[in-house]
Amino acid sequence: MVELSEEEAAVADGRDGAGAAMAMRIVADSARLLGAPRLLPIASAHIDGALYHGDSGTLFAERLVEGGARVAIRSTLNVGALDLTGCSRDRLPEHERGMARRMMDAYRALGCEPSWTCAPYQAGHRPALGTDVAWGESNAVVFCNSVLGARTNRYGDFLDIACAIAGRAPDYGLHRPENRAATLVFDVGALPRSFVASEIAWPILGSLFGKSVGNDIGVVAGVDAHPGEDALKAFGAAAASSGAVGLFHIAGVTPEAPDVATALAGRTPSATIPVTAEMVADARSRLSTAQQAERIDAVAIGSPHLSLAEFERLARLIGGRRLAVPIHACTGRHVLAGLDRLGLRKPLGEAGVTIVADTCVVVTPILPELAGGVLMTNSGKFAHYAPGNTGYDVLYASLAECVESAVAGRPVLERAPAA
């Protein structure tokens, strides 16, 4: 039985209109199914449900609009199915395109910010340490919990917008401090420091972490220095894709883990996983489904969406050369102004980079339809989802290897630094 406050019960009974009532009832019923005794107020939301997967999602959002619903808190929007900036073109059929546009319009009508990014934390949506929020999208959730130290569960499509309208979420799971402690240790201390400090390490380690811990909470030990937010973004995205990770700790790096003992809340870990070079090599191998590829047909980066710093590195690596194979670089619209300010958008386009904003190539058909195509990526999340979502086989590589391969028109793999 969920105990609703007098205010919550009044909203559920229709005091604020049919849309708000439906949202509150959805949140309350979800809390009952999850075993939560009550609802708790939340400070913000990030909405994953605005991505078109079928007409029912559009009709649901429009019903909320027709019922007069509006979000009660700051609510940013995850990627949609369309690039509304016009940077890239998709291959959606006419009906699906129309319904996807209607869906995106409906979420804006509900009062959500048209951010259209899977990395809202790069666009200024950064809830404070200890704040309760309701975020959707697996990489956004794990970054919010782990790197920012705010508190959210992995909210699925449509429950996320219901929470945003109600301004409430079920009081269970990772909202509760006692459920946020690590239960096992993932020790990378034996790996070469040059590897741990490299860009290519973090998607691989994230993929291995997710596979190793599942939906448990682990603390990473043996990291000597803060690897930077882009590395943590890549780690969390890969971990959330290969496992059901909603929260990780890195001793000495993330805010709830000044050391291993604190992350474990003083308890003995259920397991300690000493990560070896052989485990890393196996994890890297599993990220590729086209390891013996002699050609590549496309390169895609930006899952999660590229930061401005990552675009600057991309431009340096290309160095004014012309790409033989296009690079699809996915990002949020908030980055476009920065690219223009730095004078990077035009030269990147002239080199052969296709910027994709508001969406990404794994959730909507942008890549050419090609049977047996090979996609190279530096994203652990792309590597996990691309074969099923795009039909392309995947070749995982570093960003530098992606650029050199795009210039050469064939795989150029240095395999360095090694673990």
What DSSP letter does each residue of 109-127 carry, written as one string? HTT-B----S-GGGGT--P
Enumerate residues 6+ apart whose C-beta is below 8 A from 94. Answer: none
Q: What does the angle CA 142 – CA 147 – CA 152 come to, to the nearest 5 degrees?
A: 45
Number of separate domains in the chain: 3
Give residue for tokens 């590897």.
195
- Tell me which amino acid residue 206 is: G
Percent of the chain at pLDDT > 90 equals 96
pLDDT digits (tens, 9 = 90+) for 335-377: 999 999 999 999 999 999 999 999 999 999 999 999 889 999 9
How confident is the model over 201-218, as a mean pLDDT?
96
116 and 170 fall within a common domain: yes
Q: What is the largest CA-CA distance in the chain?
A: 66
Whether residues 13 and 154 share a domain: the answer is: yes
Segment 398-416, tens digit of pLDDT: 999 999 999 999 999 975 4
pLDDT in tens, 199-208: 999 999 999 9
Check whether residue 329 and residue 268 sit in a common domain: no
Give the other-Cβ count within 10 Å of 297's Cβ: 18
| Other residues' Cβ atoms within 10 Å of the Cβ of residue 6 | 6
The model's pLDDT over 278-331, given as tens digits with 9 standing for 90+, comes to 999 999 999 999 978 899 999 999 999 999 999 999 999 999 999 999 999 999
- Which residue reads 């604190």 in tokens? 262
Alpha-carbon gap, residue 126 to 144, rounded angstroms:
8
Q: Is the dihedral of CA 352, 344, 90, 290 positive or negative?
A: positive
Q: pLDDT band at 419, cuts 50/70/90? A: low
Q: Give the C-alpha distances (Å, rounded to integers) separating 329 from 49, 121, 258, 312.
A: 23, 18, 35, 12
Query: Does the structure show a pLDDT above 90 at 126?
Result: yes
The residue segments making up the domain with residue 245 are 181-286
- Asked if residue 79 is part of any domain, the answer here is yes
8 A C-beta contact, residue 334 and residue 258: no
CATH number at residue 381: 3.30.499.10
Report residue 305: phi and psi, to 5°. Answer: -50, 140
Q: pLDDT (tens digit, 9 = 90+) per residue, 226-271? A: 999 999 999 999 999 999 999 999 999 999 999 999 999 999 999 9
Whether 193 is in a domain gets the answer yes
Backbone φ, ψ for residue 136 (5° rounding): -110, 175
End residue of a domain, out of 177, 212, 228: 177
pTM, full prediction? 0.96
Percent of the chain with pLDDT over 70: 99
Q: Are residues 118 and 266 in the same domain?
A: no
- Let me know whether 302 and 248 are in one domain: no
Residue 143 shares a structural domain with residue 224: no
Do 165 and 189 reside in the same domain of the chain? no
Same domain, 55 and 170: yes
Token pair belonging to 298: 């496309």
Q: Strand (E) positions, 191-264?
A: 218-221, 248-250
76 and 156, same domain (yes or no): yes
